[in-house]
Structure 1
C-alpha cells in the first residue's frame, strides 16, 4: 500500500493536468497547474473548525424526527382495533389482526371508541387488502411523484436550504389537513400530498448537513441524521400510546405542530451550502457563510484559493436548466452505471426497511411493543455506523448486511406459531436492513460529485421509496400467508443487494465537485492499478 501511494498521487496529478489542458485559456489555474478543487479550498478554512460549528448541521438533521413520524404514522392510525363479542363470557374474543368480518353487526362491538382508527370509523373491517393499504401506498406514491418533480430543484434554482424549508412547511400543513379528512378517498389523497412534499426532505437534509461540515465530520453527521430518524420512529409509539382511545386525528395534529414550529428554526439558524453557492456563481454569499463556519475572520487576501476554485468551476457548472443535473447523471456512462446499481440495491433495502414496521400487525405480539422494539433496533445500527464507518468498506459491508436481512426475513416467514423466535428473526432482519440503508446513503454521497449529488441522492431515495410503495400491498396479502410478505421481502433484498459488487469502493476518499474531477480520479485509480500489476 505504501508503494502504491506515490503512484496514485502522481497519476492523479497527471490526470488533473490533463483536465486543465482541456479547458480554455480563460480558465483560472492553480499555481501548480492543476485545476483547483472547491472541496479542498473550503476544507482549508473549515477543516480545523471546532465542534460548535457543526451545530447548524446537527440542527438541520432534526427534521428527520418529523420525517419518521410522517412515514410510519399509518401503522397506528390505520390499525385494526380490538373488538369483542357482546355475548361472550370472556368479553374479548379477538384483537389485532383478527377481523369480525362476516359476523352480524349486532353480535360484536369495537373495544375502543369508533373514531380511534380509520378502519372502525369508516367501517373498513371487511375491505380488500388494496383498500386497507391505500393510505400507505398513496403516501409512498406521493414520495415517488415528488421525487421526480422536485429532485433537481435543490441542485438548480432553490438550493438545499430553501428546498428543505419548503418541504418541511408543506409536509406539516398537509399532516394538519389530513386530520380533517371526512372520508377514505380524501384521506388517501392528503396522504399522497404529504408524501409529495416530504419526498425531498431526507435528500435535502442529508446533502445540506454533509456540505456544511468538514471532511472529518461528514460521515458522523450523516449518522446523526439517521439517529434523528430513529428518534422520530421511537417517539411515535409513545405518542400513539398516550393518545390511544382518542381519535386518530389527534395523532396527526400531534406530529404536525412541532414540525411547523421547526420551520422557523430552519429559516433563522441554518445556513445554505457554500459549495452549492459557489457552483451557482454566488461567491460573496458562500464566502460569508464560510467565515461564519470557520469561526474566525478571514481576510480578503487569504481567500484567493477559494475564488480561484469558484472561477474555475463557474463557467462549466452554472446553468439555468433545472434538469441539467439529471442530464449529467443519465448522459455519462459511468454515472448511469453507478446510479443504476445503487438504485437497485436501494429498492430491496427500502422494501424491508419500510415494509417490516407495516407488517408488525401480522405478528401475534403487542403492536406498541413491536414498533418500539423495531425503533430501538435502529439505535445500535446507527451506533455501529457512527463508530465503525471509517473502517467499513462500503461495498462489501452493504453486500453482507443485505444478505443477512434477506436470510432472517426468510427465517421469519418459515417460523410457525409466532412467539419470541419469530419476533427475534424479524428484529435481526430489520436491524440489518437499517444498517444497509445507512451505508447505502453514505455510499451514494461519496459516489457522486457536488454538482449532481442532490439529484443522485434523490434518485437513490426514489428507489428506496418505490420499495416502500410496494410493501403495503405485500403486507396486506401477508395476512393470509407470511411467505407473501416476509418471504418476498427476504428474496428481494437478498437479490438486489448483490448489485453492490458493481460499485467502486469509496472508503477514505474525498468528495469531488464536478463530473470531470470524478472522471479524472477514476482514470488515475485505474492507471495506478494497471501500473501496480
Structure 2
C-alpha cells in the first residue's frame, strides 16, 4: 500500500511539473512531508519545469510540435520509412507463400507459428539488445532472405526456400515489435500517441500495397519477393539516422527531450 502511495505521489508531482505548474508541485511535496512530521525548507529553485504551452494534447497541436522541431521531424521520417518497408514485408510474405511452389498448407502454418517465437524473443531480450543495431540487422537479414526466394528451384530446393521465407517473415515480425518499443522511447509523452499513430499508419500502408505486389508476383517473383526484400532492406538503412535509446529514461515533455539531447551525460544510468 505504501509503495502504491509513493508511486501515485511521484506521478502527481511529475504531472504538475510537466504542465508548468511548479508552485503546485512544490506545495504538494511539502504537504506530503508534513504528514511524517518533517519540514522541507528548500525552495526548489533548481527544479526543472517546462512551459505549459508545450503540453497541449490535441492531435493538431502534437502534430505541429513534431513538425516544427528538426530532431522530431527527422526521427519521425526515419522510423515511418522503416515501418513502411517492414509493413510491406510483414503483410506481404504470408500472402506470397503460394508463389513459392512448396506445400501451401505447411508454409502458411509455419508463417503463423513464426509470430509467436518472434514476440517471445522480443519480450525476453528487449532489455538487453540495442534498438538501432538489432533493427538494422533484422531488416538486413529479412531482406536478403526474401531476395534468396527469387532463385530457381534448380539452385535452391523448394523446402529450403520455404525455410528461408519463414526466416524472412520471422525477421519482419520481430522488427514490428522492436519498432513499437523504439518509437515509445524516441518520443516524449506529450507527442508519443501521435507518433505511434503515424507509425502504425505507415505499417498499414505497406500492408495495403502488399496484395497488389503479390498478384503481380504470380507471373514474375521479382514483383513480390524482390520488392519485399529491397523495400525492407533499403528502408531499414534509415535506422542509422536514429539515436540509440536503450537504457535511457523516457521523457515527458519536448523540452526535457531537447535538454537531454544537449546534455547526454546527464542521462547516464
**1:297 offset after TM fit, Å?**
9.1
Distance, in Å, in 1 between the alignment partners of 2:110 and 2:241 is 34
> Residue 453 of structure 1 aligns with which residue?
192
Q: 2: distance between equivalents of 1:321 and 1:505?
A: 28
Q: 2:232 aligns with which of 480, 486, 493?
A: 493
Cα 1:299/1:513, change in 2 over 3 Å: closer
Aligned to 2:110: 373
- Give the alignment of 1:77-96 within 5 angstroms: none
In 2: Cα distance, 1:391 partner to 1:331 partner: 33
Distance 1:299 1:452 in 2: 22
- Counterpart of 2:146 (choices 409, 413, 434) is 409
| Residue 370 (structure 1) shift | 2.1
Q: Which residue, 158, 169, 175 being the options, matches 1:436?
A: 175
**Cα deviation code 1:194-225 (max 9, x no counterpart):** xxxxxxxxxxxxxxxxxxxxxxxxxxxxxxxx
Give the TM-score normalised by structure 1. Answer: 0.41
- Seen in structure 2, the aligned counterparts of structure 1 residues 449 and 484 have a Cα distance that, compared at 3 Å, is same
Max Rg structure: 1
Q: Which residue among 55, 63, 71 is the counterpart of 1:326?
A: 63
Cα distance, 1:333–1:373 mapped onto 2, change above 3 Å: same
**Aligned match of 2:74:** 337
Is 2:21 the partner of 1:312? Answer: yes
Structure 1 481/305 Cα, relative in aligned 2: closer, same or farther at 3 Å? closer
- Structure-2 residue corresponding to 1:388: 125
Q: Is the 8 A contact 2:18 2:55 kept in 1?
A: no
Residue by residue over 1:157-179, the C-alpha shift from the partner in whole angstroms, topping out at 9 and shown as x without a partner, is xxxxxxxxxxxxxxxxxxxxxxx
Q: CA deviation at 1:316?
A: 2.4
| Unaligned runs of at least 5 residues, structure 2 | 23-50
2:39 is matched with: none
Higher mean Cα deviation, 332-341 or 414-423? Answer: 414-423
CA distance in 1, matches of 2:13, 2:99: 62
For residues 421 and 479 of structure 1, do their structure 2 counterparts lie closer, same or farther at Cα, with a shift above 3 Å needed? same
Which residue pairs with 2:261 in the alignment?
522
Within a 5 Å distance, the mapping from 1:89-488 to structure 2 comes to 307-308=16-17, 312=21, 315-317=52-54, 319=56, 321-416=58-153, 419-488=158-227
After TM superposition, the score normalised by the length of structure 2 is 0.79
1: CA distance between counterparts of 2:84 and 2:19? 36
RMSD, aligned CA: 2.9
Equivalent residue of 2:230, what SS? helix
Cα drift, residue 305 of structure 1: 6.0
Q: Secondary structure at the match of 1:323?
A: helix
**Between Structure 1 and Structure 2, how many residues are aligned?**
237
CA drift of 1:415 comes to: 3.6
Give the distance between the partners of 1:298 and 1:307, measured in 2 at CA: 14
Structure 2 distance, partners of 1:454, 1:338, is: 15
CA distance in 2 between counterparts of 1:431 and 1:446 reads: 23
Report how far residue 526 of structure 1 moved.
Answer: 7.6
